[in-house]
Amino acid sequence: MDHLAITVRDVDATCAFYHDVLGMQVQTFGDGRLALKFGQQKINIHEAGHEIDPKADKPTPGSADLCLLVEDSLDDVVAALHEHHVDYMGPVNRTGAHGAITSVYVRDPDRNLIELSRYDQD
């Protein structure tokens, strides 16, 4: 996957959460559009009521459910969540696209569900 877009109520709060808590880079592109860059992918940010065309049929803040793979151990992820006073659920065992993963779940400022996962080690 190259990129996806999420619709948000507060662009600044969204960028702060994904940068400060999840370590993504905030990137400006085009005519001042914003994206959250991580690895080879990015999440484009659309402000509710000011979405970029073409867009989803019903762009809605808080409707996303994303699973993101992390490089750090989940212990380190949980420690960072504690440091930023972010509530989380887990760790729990799940199945990813390529097999068993272990995940923790958080909610971003729009209440999107963000699953932070690592593939289980052999």
Residue 119 vs residues 13, 59, 70, 101: alpha-carbon distances, Å: 29, 31, 9, 4
Which residue spans within the chain are E strands per DSSP?
A: 3-8, 25-29, 33-38, 41-47, 65-69, 89-96, 99-107, 113-119
Reading phi first (left if > 0) and then psi (alpha if -120 to 50, else beta), residue 23 is in left
Supply the residues annotated as catalytic: 115
